[in-house]
Amino acid sequence: MQLENICQQVREIARQAGLFIAEQAGKVKSQDIEEKYLNNLVSFVDIEAEKMIVEGLKAIVPEAGYITEEGTTERSEAAFQWIIDPLDGTTNFLYNIPSYAVSIALMKGDEIIVGVVYEVNRQESFYAWKGGGAWLNEAPIHVSKNTALKKAVIATGFPYYNFSHVTQYLQVLEHMIYNSLSIRRLGAASVDLCYVACGKFDAFYEHSLSPWDVAAGTIIVQEAGGKVCDFSGKNDFLFGKEIVASSTGIHPVFFSVVNEHLGQKVSIS
C-alpha cells in the first residue's frame, strides 16, 4: 500500500470538500441548523460535505469501512477504516468565525496510518502518513523546540456538553494561566492539533472529543515529532475522549499538570 500516494489523493478530496464549505459560508439560514444534542450543531453543509468525501474515498481503498460524524454511511468491521469529520468547527462556520476544517484519517487495525486536515479559511493542507513525516502545503513541519512552560502557547477546548470534569478542567486551565505564555481556544480540535504539529502551539489538551475530531491530527503531531497520549499517559486518545498533544520538550511538565487533575496521576518520561 503506497501511503504517500493515498495521502495525496485524500488531500485533493479534502480540498474539494473545503471549497464546497467555503462557498456555503454565510449562506446557511437559522432554520437549516439542527441541534444533534446539547450545543452540538449540524447543517446540510456538514452532511453534503461528508457525502462528497465518502464518495471520493471509495475509489482509494474500496474495502475500507467508515467512522463518520454525520453517519451518512453505515459502519462496518473492515480492517481499514476511514475516520471523517467533514466540518470540524461547525459552530465557527455557522457564525462566520474562523477556523474550521475538513479532517480525514485512514486507520488500519487500531493504528492511524494517514491523516489530512484542510483548514478552509487559510487554505492550509496539513498531512502525514506513517513514516513519512508531517507536511503543510508541500513543506515539512515540526513541533516547537521550546522547553519552557513559561514560554509556551497552550491550546484547549472548553467543555460544551459534558460538564462532569469542569472543576478539574478549570484547575488545569488556572495553572496554565499562571505558568504559560498564553492560552488559545480556536473551537476546532483538528486545527489545534495541526498547530501543535507546526509549532504555532506548544501543547493542547481537551476532553469529550470524538475519534473524528482527533484521528487525522494525531498522526500529524506524531510525524512532526510530537507526543500524544490520554490523561493517564496511555494511548487511548482516539476513542477514550481525552487527549494531550505537545512538543517533546514541553510534554513531561505539561502532561504532569493535566495528569494531576484529570488523569490517574502516573509519571511519564
Helix (H) or strand (E) holding 91: helix 90-94
Please, where in the chain does CATH 3.30.540.10 lie?
Answer: 3-140
CATH match of 149-262 with 1.10.1740.10? no
Please, where in the chain does CATH 3.40.190.80 lie?
Answer: 149-262
Distance between CA atoms of 219 and 6, rounded to whole angstroms?
15
Distance between CA atoms of 229 and 131, rounded to whole angstroms?
19
User: Any idea which residue has 496511555 for its cell?
Assistant: 234
pLDDT for position 26: 81
Q: Is the dihedral of CA 37, 43, 44, 49 positive or negative?
A: negative
Determine how β-strand 153-156 pairs with β-strand 203-207: parallel
Task: At 162, list the grid cell.
Answer: 459534558
Task: At 30, list the grid cell.
Answer: 437559522
Q: Which residues of the chain have pLDDT under 70?
A: 29-42, 71-72, 74-75, 160-162, 265-269
Task: At 221, list the grid cell.
Answer: 503531531
DSSP per-residue letters across 137-152:
TTEEE-------GGG-
pLDDT for position 155: 98
Opening angle at CA 61, ends 57 and 62, nearest 5 = 90
Nearest to 233 by CA among 246, 223, 224: 246
Judge residue 27's burial from the number of C-beta atoms within 10 Å of its C-beta, 0-12 exposed, 13-18 middle, 19 or more buried.
Answer: exposed
Q: How many CB atoms lie within 10 A of CB 49?
A: 25
pLDDT for position 52: 95
Cβ–Cβ < 8 Å for 224, 143: yes
pLDDT for position 39: 36
Distance between CA atoms of 17 and 51, rounded to whole angstroms?
9
Nearest to 232 by CA among 211, 210, 205, 213: 205
| Backbone φ and ψ of 235, nearest 5° | -100, 20
Helix (H) or strand (E) holding 171: helix 166-179
Q: What is the CATH number of domain 3-140?
A: 3.30.540.10
**pTM of the shown model:** 0.92
Distance between CA atoms of 45 and 24, rounded to whole angstroms?
7
Distance between CA atoms of 85 and 70, rounded to whole angstroms?
8
